[in-house]
Chains A and B, each alone.
Chain A
Amino acid sequence: MTVLEGWWAYVFIAIAGWLATDLWRWLGVLAGNRLREDSEALNWVRAVATALVAAVIAKLILYPTGVLEQSPLWLRLGSVATGAVAFFIGRQKPAIGIATAIAVLAIGLHILGV
């Protein structure tokens, strides 16, 4: 694992982090109400953006770092699946799905003695 040091770390974060994200926000402001809500191009942008974030989510669940690295995959997938069931039963309230998934994970980790 690499860790950046000194002023270069801040330049790196400013360019690859701040500029890389705020660029889209500025374009978003400029597009403003000029962007047609019903256009097919915007639909494609939405799909690509969501798939990107979904890929990040999947990696965080399947290949976690730190403590969860030693936890079994079936426990992590089981927590998410149980949370999803609770989420849909609970009228798609995020808090219900999140609390259930985390509770299942915590119980599982406790039983396994992690």
Chain B
Amino acid sequence: MTNHWADLQNAKVFLIEGSNAAENHVMSMKWIRKAQEKGAKIIHVDPRFNRTSSIADIYARIRPGADIAFLGAVINHVLQQGLYDAEYVKLHTNALLLAKDEFALEDGVFTGYHEDKHKYDTASWAYDLDAATQKPKKAASLDDPRCVFSKLKAHFARYTPEVAEEISGVPAEQVKLIAETFANNRPGTILYALGMTQHTVGIQNIRCYGILQLLLGNIGKAGGGVNALRGEPNVQGACDMSVLNGYMFGYINAPNHNHPTLEAWTKDNGTFRRKFTVNGLKAWFGENATAENDFGWRWLPKKNGAKDYTVFGMIDDAYAGKLKLLWAVGQNPMVTNPNLNYVHEALSKLDMLVVQELWDTETASFWQRPGADPKAIKTEVLLLPAAYFMEKEGTISGSGRLVQWRYAAVKPPGKAKADLEIIDTVFRKVRDLYAGSTDPKDEPLAKAVWNYPAEHTAEAVLQEIGGRVLSEVTLPDGKVLKPGAFVGGIGQLQADGSTSSGAWIYAGVFGGGKNLSKRRDAKTDPSGLGMFPGFAWTWPGNMKILYNRASCDADGKPWPGTTPLVWWDATEKKWKGVDTPDVPDATKGPETPEGQRAFRMNGEGIGRLMAAVYKDPDAKEKGLPRDGSYTPKDGPFPEFYEPIESPVANVLHPKAQHNPCVKYPRVPGKQPVGTAKDFPYVLMTSSIAEHWCAGSTTRNVPWLNELQPECVVELPTQLAEKLRVKGGDKVRVSSARGEMVVKAVVTKRMQVMKIAGQDVPVVWMPYNWGFKGLSTGPSTNVLTIDAVDPGAGTQETKACLVNVVPVEEAVAQR
């Protein structure tokens, strides 16, 4: 989240699309309802009329996978009707920067496409740079046809409300109503979850949100923002801690094979992030990491730049017999991964599977899966009993980036142990096995700092994450940091190895030598906005609202008529506020370049309506970039493409039916693609209020099983009538990948939609069941497709094609 949970009470309008917040993030409703009581409007866009829809002021039914068609039209309406915040757009976005003339979109494909590789050469997606400074040239007004704003307008001009209706099913009049309601009530916030990301256009779906919120001036403000409602208790923290193949030390790009030195890596990633990398290497390798040995750079494993290291790459490699050992902790891919029959085959080819869990899950017991022959499965399996959250201590980070300490209340049952202890023990055992080795490959194990105490282990690790002063540092303001002290914040981190931080964004969580995640002041809120700065600790730097510099104008004054968050105090020569100011240096005022970088984590320092290719040159180190900006692989602007399995042709450009960057199937024979002829209905899946994700935990709780005893398929009334199916009848749901039998729920919540002149029935299923636990049932993910977003690697579980037929016995009995 750019903002945080309690900040939802400050919004005047909500666009909730791709989230059933009322069921899946129940506590969000506490704050959304507060805002609604004060007059805020709620817009809910979803293929299924659910509990969130029931409290919305406007509910729009949308076809799964058609979000860009709808949001493109909302953006277009905002642009055509002049509903955007022109001053904010000119100051805080790249609207005025000049883009290259050769950039274009033709027949749904951007310039630079290589069909054979499913890839773009992105050189034309760039700015027109000043030859001397290598900085983008700037237009005098938004009317300049060469500027980003004009390119944006031209790009979205094709997305008329009528086109949106044809593709998405949202009526044209409702598209306009939503655009106007959202634009005319500010600040407005956007909430989304996996409903928006689990598509082959997931990144571009969210790009639409970024563009819309930048146009409306809603980023950096209380009650605004783009807010991802994340699905798991510490999915935010797991990302922060780089449990993601592509990152290290907190969203820092992990090195590829062609980065043999830190310098080679810096050429691609910039000097700004090199500093944090050095702090990470110092945290991992301590005194063994020196300037002379490139801070131990050679001890990091370098990825093959062309290889897929996501969970889908893992499964594909397991199936190919290349991945030998898979170790899963608290994750149950035999329920949650798409295309489950293929996942089962892949697991069966592993040498060893290790599962660290509370329960015996579908993954741990995959060799017992109904229909499987255990004798034929040669995989060794270890199931290690783990402690649950109330049985251990440590921190988690919620969606709002609040890092909270949990105390251990009770001991784990039986011989179960905390994951921290298991990980620590295994690392030491492996290190011992290599004791005395002189093989260079084993150096990382010997050179790493790994000597955590047996007591208060979690706190010791948090200290390493937060960071330490290693040798005396004198800060620009004259303050001296002594060795052994804890780092007070990101600003104290040094580039020369005199400080360390395992994840720079958490620098300062132990500021002043205190564990700030343990703070409990739920009474003091000087902002009156629900910030409570003395309750736990928020990364970065206890900042509650990211990009809050954008809440001010060019002079550092809060925009007229808005809630002040931060401001430039000309007397004290300092950025101040009720929140931690999001500026590179609190002493550099609006008259300096640093004082005008509201989006300082981009190379340009401003919000990116066009995600242009750009690297900001370093002023001091010639030839090296200071920082770069992220450009999605599939385009600098979002473009609508149909899901891989879709019942209709792409209305905008039939030649570019799907995302041109998606390569699918990846594994011939194992990833079949169904057509509407055999599988005429669109399936969307999601979680429910009573069961959660794989259901490993919730299906072992009797109360929850009583509330939701089994998996079902929700069918539109019109479809059920056609199929002669009544509520409670058993039906067989099938896709090109698998089939299952469940009971039908016949409901108006789902509808037959009119798309591109065709009737398109949309059905829904929860995905929380499997063959283990107290409540068992077939897993919906045998049906779903494992085609993924080319940038994020997120699978298209929100839109695939299925068929539904009544099970004969059920009909015969009637």
A is bound by B: no
